[in-house]
């Protein structure tokens, strides 16, 4: 059997590491063509030694130089490339069958669009690509005939609960689906006193109770901006109106999301909170294969709880719905402001509640424009980042 060749965009992040773990169990079905990272030379060097990709790409030029020297001394045949051009090249290469898009944030936009435009089997873990440029990405998929499969646990769960033969971007209503439910754990502050939010530290915000994620995504989970971005992502993946996408707090993270049908049925996908499950599902689709995840033990899972999220506690969720309803580049502005705010919080420059304050101010200051071109989207992203950074200089309260 011919093995499929895989490029992993963001191989040193949590999704990339989990993807390599799954691939290592399926060496007869897959081979790694390219790995990419920003600047984590140590981990990338180990990954190159273990998985022997043809190409490794480092976004940071200095990191690329260090990696090139280190691999040369080790006798590795892996070619090292650098920068956005290298990322795009390994995403659209005619030698690649599958692209795992797992770069966190706006940095993943260009190579993800390149993979979609080249007609790849695109495993989408970079939600920001849809948040920033949903229409452009879905148009690229439609034009090229690419296969788009969602990796986020919630969207992958919804995809699994939809009828066989459903393709992302098709409206779900003709399939009998009335509404989707995105489950959310509520993060580490689901029950914390609101009057103590000023004292939240970055380490506390990154201590997710159920999932092992990077620091940026962990903060997004703590503010529930991560869920807000997923609402926007779901709008594009499943062609839904904002009112048809509902968020429900489910602290056990056993049910990963649900689809409500017009006959009153609700289908749910359950499993242990481990990203290797949706990764293996998208790699093997439409079949199934071993992921290395422990089977779910319903007897030890205990009671499952559900509750509506409070927008007073999680204002970022409300801001995401606001941007989605505004349309155009509003979601691009939302994402850019959030990235600036989270970076500032992790650096100790602002307090936890100021993340939402910065995003709200940026959304209010920058009116949305039509999101018709990549150039317009990137310009809106740049304006939002400039405004947010200026707000930090003028308004932030240092810790």
Q: What is the pLDDT of residues 85-122, one digit of tens each?
A: 999 999 999 999 999 999 987 788 999 999 999 999 99
pLDDT exceeds cutoff 70 at 397: no
Q: pTM for this structure?
A: 0.92
- pLDDT score of 396: 57
DSSP readout, 297-364?
A: -HHHH-----BPPPTTT-HHHHHHHHHHHH-TTHHHHHHHHHHHHHHHHHTTSS-THHHHHHHHHHHH
- pLDDT score of 94: 96
Strand 98-101 versus strand 4-9 pairing type: parallel
- pLDDT score of 104: 80
Rounded CA-CA distance 331/336 in Å is 9
Residue of 357, 394, 360 whose CA lies nearest to 198? 357
| Across 255-280, average pLDDT | 97
Exposure class string for 310-341: b at 16+ Cβ within 10 A, else e: eeebbbbbbbbbbbbeeebbbbbbbbbbbbbb
- pLDDT score of 146: 97
| Across 146-175, average pLDDT | 95
Please provide the average confidence, as pLDDT, over all residues in the chain.
94
Least confident of 213-217, 303-307, 327-331: 213-217
Least confident of 19-33, 209-223, 233-247, 365-379: 209-223
Domain with CATH 3.40.50.720 in the chain: 4-150
- pLDDT score of 372: 87
**CATH placement of domain 4-150:** 3.40.50.720
pLDDT exceeds cutoff 70 at 326: yes
- pLDDT score of 216: 87
Into which CATH architecture does domain 327-399 fall? Orthogonal Bundle (1.10)
184: how many CB neighbours lie within 10 A of its CB?
A: 25
- pLDDT score of 394: 86
| Across 128-147, average pLDDT | 93
Rounded CA-CA distance 2/10 in Å is 25
Question: Rounded to an integer, what is the distance from CA 138 to the centroid of its chain?
Answer: 16
| Across 13-22, average pLDDT | 96
Tokens found for residue 212: 């092992």
- pLDDT score of 187: 87
Least confident of 130-144, 204-218, 232-246: 204-218
pLDDT exceeds cutoff 60 at 161: yes
Q: What is the pLDDT of residues 163-206, one digit of tens each?
A: 988 999 899 999 999 999 999 999 889 999 999 999 999 999 99
Q: What is the pLDDT of residues 196-235, one digit of tens each?
A: 999 999 999 998 766 666 788 889 999 999 999 999 999 9
Domain with CATH 1.10.1740.10 in the chain: 327-399
- pLDDT score of 137: 94
| Across 22-38, average pLDDT | 97
Percent of the chain clearing pLDDT 90 (strictly above)? 89
């Amino acid at each position: 059997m011919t093995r499929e060749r895989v490029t992993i965009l963001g191989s040193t992040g949590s999704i990339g590491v989990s993807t390599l773990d799954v691939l290592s169990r399926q060496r007869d079905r897959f081979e790694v063509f390219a790995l990419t990272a920003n600047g984590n030379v140590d981990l990338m060097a180990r990954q190159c030694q273990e998985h022997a990709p043809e190409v490794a790409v480092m976004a940071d030029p200095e990191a690329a130089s260090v990696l090139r020297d280190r691999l040369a001394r080790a006798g590795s045949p892996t070619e090292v490339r650098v920068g956005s051009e290298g990322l795009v090249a390994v995403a659209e290469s005619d030698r690649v069958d599958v692209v795992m898009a797992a770069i966190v944030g706006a940095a993943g936009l260009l190579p993800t669009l390149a993979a979609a435009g080249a007609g790849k089997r695109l495993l989408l873990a970079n939600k920001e690509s849809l948040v920033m440029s949903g229409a452009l990405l879905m148009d690229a998929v439609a034009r090229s005939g690419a296969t788009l499969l969602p990796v986020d646990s919630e969207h992958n769960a919804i995809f699994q609960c939809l009828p066989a033969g459903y393709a992302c971007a098709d409206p779900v209503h003709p399939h009998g689906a009335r509404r989707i439910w995105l489950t959310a754990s509520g993060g580490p502050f689901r029950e914390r006193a609101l009057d103590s939010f000023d004292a939240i530290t970055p380490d506390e915000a990154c201590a997710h109770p159920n999932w092992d994620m990077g620091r940026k995504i962990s903060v997004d989970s703590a503010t529930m901006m991560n869920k807000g971005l997923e609402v926007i992502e779901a709008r594009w993946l499943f062609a839904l109106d904002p009112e048809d996408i509902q968020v429900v707090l489910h602290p056990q993270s056993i049910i990963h999301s649900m689809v409500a049908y017009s006959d009153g049925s609700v289908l749910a996908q359950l499993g242990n909170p481990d990203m290797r499950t949706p990764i293996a599902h998208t790699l093997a689709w439409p079949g199934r294969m071993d992921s290395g995840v422990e089977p779910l033990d319903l007897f030890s899972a205990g009671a499952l709880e559900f509750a509506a999220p409070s927008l007073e506690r999680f204002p970022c969720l409300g801001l995401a719905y606001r941007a989605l309803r505004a349309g155009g580049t509003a979601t691009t502005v939302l994402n850019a402001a959030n990235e600036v705010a989270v970076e500032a919080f992790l650096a100790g420059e602002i307090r936890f509640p100021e993340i939402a304050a910065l995003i709200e101010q940026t959304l209010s200051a920058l009116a949305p424009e039509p999101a018709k071109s990549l150039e317009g989207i990137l310009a809106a992203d740049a304006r939002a980042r400039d405004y947010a950074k200026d707000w930090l200089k003028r308004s932030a309260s240092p810790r």
